[in-house]
Structure 1
Amino acid sequence: MPLTPRPTIPRLPSRRIKSALLASAVSVCLVAASAPSPATPLGVGDRLFPYLGNPGYDVASYDLSFTYTGANNKPLAAVTTIDAVASERLKRINLDYAHGTVESVEVNGASASFASAEEDLVVTPAEPVPAGGSMRITVRHTSNPVAAENQDGGWVQTKDGLAMANQADAGHLVFPCNDHPSDKAMFTIRVTTPDGYTAVANGLPSGVDRARRSTTWTYRTEHPMATELAQVSIGRSTVLHRSGPHGLPVRDVVPTKDRERLEPWLKKTPDQIAWMESKVGRYPFETYGLLIAEARTGFELETQTLSLFERELFKEAAYPKSYVESIMVHELSHQWFGDSVSPRTWSDLWLNEGHATWYEALYAEEKADKPMETRMKAAYRASDSWRAAGGPPAVPKGPKPGQKISIFRPNVYDGAALVLYALRQEIGHPAFERLERIWVSLHHDGVASTEDFVNLASSVANRDLDGFFQAWLYGGKTPPMPGHPDWKSDTPQARKGAR
């Protein structure tokens, strides 16, 4: 998740989460043919990001090609090919795309006109695409690694190259797409680099082609993926390989100079995967690993099959060993909760972050003797303040102006984990554990909503839990904790006046 919170230990004064993602729409610089009428932006109506995603089609696959010259201050030449099926007759096709230059667009092999509309690329094919018709959209464009003003997302510049951080709404700053987690697709990613660089992306390698002074690296996913989870690492890196449970290939991407120093941390991953499998079932993807980047982002991020971590997390002595390990488990658990089972809307974010925080805390309880109850009691005490500031867990307040990533507030982390703790108290440990396993199995490779979770929990518990969830997920005040009538939540007013 973008902003993995680190509230339990002192933070260094110099470390802070950067503030904004797109204070205003970033213009797409388009070399565009004229359109018969003004192009307009569309969206799928997400409550938090109304213009994210586009109606009228379902993407089956993306084929992304990037050419990196070795200069982080120059746009990458790129080609994005999208295979999709129209769900209605389309005279125009809206794609999410910003912060780059479009050179040409083809639809089913024929040249198409195109124009910009805020953060949409609006394509007019030579012939309308019929409902149910297949379409292949090929966009030749640039992908700019230099952040626009107030941008915090898309390409991340590292000390020796680039990585991606597209959550929540920044995939379209890198490539044209249907940038909403409700439309998952397969990915093929090709990256051409000069000699001396290594490129790694989501999924498994499917080819390395070496030319005179460059190499093209190709990766393919074996499971559908949301655009916000795409990852490309380009750097002077070493790829370390090891085996996980059931022979799962585990590969880590690290700065070559740090490989020995990082090894004690990296070798923990197979056991962490085995621990998660003991809780919720088999790991859902074809590979896993850590991408450790020499960059300052202010977060760790669960990009699918290759989670992004700041090198500082493993280097800074102020972070206790148990804390670092729990954050590793937080991002690992997202592979089940958020990646394999993706949110239907961004208001369902609590399902991602609440579960990742839950397993982070459960791991700390079992491996580092840090009781879950202690953490949850502290969360309960702060919960009313979190709800006042950020909204109830399932109705998070919209992002602050110019700070789109500000939806990642405590109410969807420990506040949402508190909901899961209350649920376990309400239905009992055995039913809760069955629910978790069924949830990730039932919605594997798909998308799911809060309503889906409520319905499944009621089915597993064999009783109607609508009233319970209505209070815990949508109420402005924190309900009484089952089994702990003595727990108290400080009012926002009391906390505001505290010293």
Structure 2
Amino acid sequence: MALAAVASAASAPSGAAPPAPEPLGIGDRLFPHLGNPGYDVAAYDIDLDYRGGDRPLDAVTRVDARATGVLHSLNLDFAGGTVRSVAVDGRRAAFARAGEDLVVTPRRPMLPGEPFRVTVRHTSDPRGLPGGSDSGDGGWIRTLDGLAMANQADAAHRVFPCNDHPSDKARFTFHVTAPRDLTVVAGGVPVGRERHGARTTWEYRVLHPMATELAQVSIGRSAVVRGTGPGGLPLRDVVPAADRERLAPWLARTPDQLAWMEDKTGGPYPFETYGLLIARATTGFELETQTLSLFEHRLFTTPKVPEWYVDSVMVHELAHQWFGDSVTPRTWSDLWLNEGHATWYEALYAQERGGRPLARRMRAAYAHSDTWRADGGPPAAPEPGPPGRHIGIFRPTVYDGGALVLYALREEIGAAAFERLERAWVRRHRDSVASTGDFVRLASRVAGRDLAGFLHPWLYGRHTPPMPGHPEWRSAARRAALGAKSPGNPGKPG
């Protein structure tokens, strides 16, 4: 249905009455109304003015894009604030809200290949959507002393107007004004800082294309801890100022973890900087926001959490900088390429540095895999999240279930070929988007044989295939079925 609406919006004949504003989408299987047809975004330039508490921020978002078809109107995803005005190339444009879309009608149609800029003056509301919870909606999250962002999967458009789909990566610049006793940090590198009496404006620029879900802005009473990683990489951690010393031993682990990941992927870290944003907030997750991964404070301060576990979670988010941030999924059904790989390197690090055998974890995952597939779909075709909880797509089937696919592939083609595949994957698709089909094709090329027949059941099957090299592995459901058929279980159907 969304695809049919695309055609009518993008190709209305000259002189015809414009269609009524309606939400569009690019037809993503899991998020059909996310993304917008007819243009490609090159850059976002976002001004935010924070005055404390949960008051809406005054904001200006500039979207630089290029038309890919005739545009009589264009849609931006936006749901988290009030729109005050819209301009296209400096001229005021008509606008209307339609669902979670902002529909903009310029004074003249945009032609294919034509660059344009949309400027939206709006508010950005940290209180979430009406009727929603603060954390469940995503977007802005409240910390003990300010704000941070958690936009995955579909919440960036609750912070700023955008083309909110990972397939349309763009460069970002942030200008954030806040009281001068607060520290503002965003993804990318600092460009400048200017004081205006009791307030300060901070500017940051992301130097590589980024998906909207990976944007990060932190505002609070923070300490910025700087260091150096492999090859002179600038490191920048953002922590509650009062906990700087307490958290320092954890921050000191990042250079070695970076060196470990660079060795596994065969190349340097893909971005301009890296660091941890440790926030006093309750999210229930950690998040790989580009160049500045978000972590809950309690992960590092809760007694009795094993050291190896914290290390492996840190590596999980670090691995995402390659798998998910640099190489971004073309659709949300390709999420396993992110989470399966991050879980793979998390588990591999836990084996090499924490003494937690990878094979043991994979065998346990195999035992549960059929149940995961029944509950949430196979790794490359996950089921949608429950209504109002789109984060529900982040299920075990794409985490350990995705890592299990990689383990099976390594068993099938051998460790050396698997390592070549991983290195080729991040090199070939750096700063771009890629799909499950791309991965299958590259795996086949590296292995020297067509692997589609092997990988398809692992990626899309309702039941987990036999594990190469481990015929004794059984799923819990399979073991139960075999037990039910055993003569030692009278009364069960045969």
TM-score, length of structure 1 as denominator length: 0.91
5 Å matches for 1:76-225?
A: 76-148=57-129, 149-150=131-132, 151-225=136-210
* Whole-angstrom CA distance in 1 between matches of 2:126 and 2:89: 29
Q: Which has the larger radius of gyration?
A: 2
Which of 340, 343, 349 is equivalent to 1:357?
A: 343
* Whole-angstrom CA distance in 2 between matches of 1:318 and 1:401: 36
The residue aligned with 1:262 is 247
Q: Render the CA deviation track for 1:48-82: whole Å, top value 9, x for unaligned.
A: 000000010000000011000022x2000000000
Contact 1:180 1:226 (8 Å CA) reproduced: yes
Which of 30, 48, 51 is equivalent to 2:30?
A: 48
Q: Render the CA deviation track for 1:210-258: whole Å, top value 9, x for unaligned.
A: 1111110000011000000000000000100000000000000000000
How far off its partner does 1:491 sit? 1.2
* Whole-angstrom CA distance in 2 between matches of 1:195 and 1:440: 40
Q: Which moved more, 1:37-46 or 1:61-70?
A: 37-46
How far off its partner does 1:318 sit? 2.9
The residue aligned with 1:25 is none
* Whole-angstrom CA distance in 1 between matches of 2:298 and 2:480: 36
Contact 1:59 1:178 (8 Å CA) reproduced: yes
CA 1:233–1:160 in structure 2 vs 1: closer, same or farther (change >3 Å)? same
How far off its partner does 1:493 sit? 10
The residue aligned with 2:418 is 432
The residue aligned with 1:461 is 447
The residue aligned with 2:401 is 415
Which of 342, 347, 356 is equivalent to 1:370?
A: 356
* Whole-angstrom CA distance in 1 between matches of 2:457 and 2:70: 42
* Whole-angstrom CA distance in 2 between matches of 1:201 and 1:371: 37
* Whole-angstrom CA distance in 2 between matches of 1:186 and 1:402: 29
Q: Render the CA deviation track for 1:110-163: whole Å, top value 9, x for unaligned.
A: 100000110000000011111111110000000000123234300000000000
* Whole-angstrom CA distance in 2 between matches of 1:424 and 1:494: 28
* Whole-angstrom CA distance in 2 between matches of 1:476 and 1:269: 39
* Whole-angstrom CA distance in 1 between matches of 2:478 and 2:119: 52
Contact 2:165 2:212 (8 Å CA) reproduced: yes
How far off its partner does 1:301 sit? 0.2
Contact 2:67 2:111 (8 Å CA) reproduced: yes
SS in 1 for 2:476: coil
The residue aligned with 2:298 is 312
* Whole-angstrom CA distance in 2 between matches of 1:228 and 1:155: 12
Runs of 4+ that moved beyond 4 A: 492-495
Report the residue type matching 1:39 in the other structure.
P
5 Å matches for 1:474-493?
A: 474-491=460-477
The residue aligned with 1:19 is none
* Whole-angstrom CA distance in 1 between matches of 2:117 and 2:58: 20
How far off its partner does 1:402 sit? 1.8
Contact 1:145 1:155 (8 Å CA) reproduced: yes
1:293 paired with 2:293, answer: no
The residue aligned with 2:12 is none
SS in 1 for 2:95: strand
Q: How many pairs are equivalent?
A: 462
Q: Render the CA deviation track for 1:428-460: whole Å, top value 9, x for unaligned.
A: 000000000000000000000000000000000
The residue aligned with 1:7 is none
The residue aligned with 2:488 is none
Report the residue type matching 1:274 in the other structure.
A
How far off its partner does 1:300 sit? 0.2
* Whole-angstrom CA distance in 1 between matches of 2:283 and 2:50: 21
* Whole-angstrom CA distance in 2 between matches of 1:450 and 1:436: 14
Contact 1:107 1:135 (8 Å CA) reproduced: yes
1:389 paired with 2:372, answer: no
SS in 2 for 1:286: coil
SS in 2 for 1:207: strand
The residue aligned with 1:302 is 288
The residue aligned with 2:5 is none
Contact 1:388 1:492 (8 Å CA) reproduced: no
* Whole-angstrom CA distance in 2 between matches of 1:382 and 1:492: 10
* Whole-angstrom CA distance in 1 between matches of 2:38 and 2:24: 10
5 Å matches for 1:47-66?
A: 47-66=29-48
The residue aligned with 2:487 is none
The residue aligned with 1:31 is none
The residue aligned with 2:230 is 245
Contact 1:81 1:139 (8 Å CA) reproduced: yes
5 Å matches for 1:26-37?
A: 37=19
How far off its partner does 1:345 sit? 0.1
SS in 2 for 1:191: strand
Q: Which runs of 5+ in 1 are unaligned?
A: 1-34
The residue aligned with 2:489 is none
Report the residue type matching 2:203 in the other structure.
T
* Whole-angstrom CA distance in 2 between matches of 1:190 and 1:109: 20
| Overall identity of the aligned pairs, in % | 66
Contact 2:80 2:160 (8 Å CA) reproduced: no
* Whole-angstrom CA distance in 2 between matches of 1:118 and 1:103: 17
The residue aligned with 1:226 is 211
Contact 1:385 1:492 (8 Å CA) reproduced: no
How far off its partner does 1:99 sit? 1.9
RMSD across aligned positions (CA): 1.4
1:39 paired with 2:24, answer: no
Contact 1:154 1:165 (8 Å CA) reproduced: yes
The residue aligned with 1:23 is none
Report the residue type matching 1:40 in the other structure.
E
* Whole-angstrom CA distance in 2 between matches of 1:58 and 1:442: 22
Report the residue type matching 2:114 in the other structure.
G
* Whole-angstrom CA distance in 2 between matches of 1:275 and 1:65: 37
* Whole-angstrom CA distance in 1 between matches of 2:87 and 2:204: 24
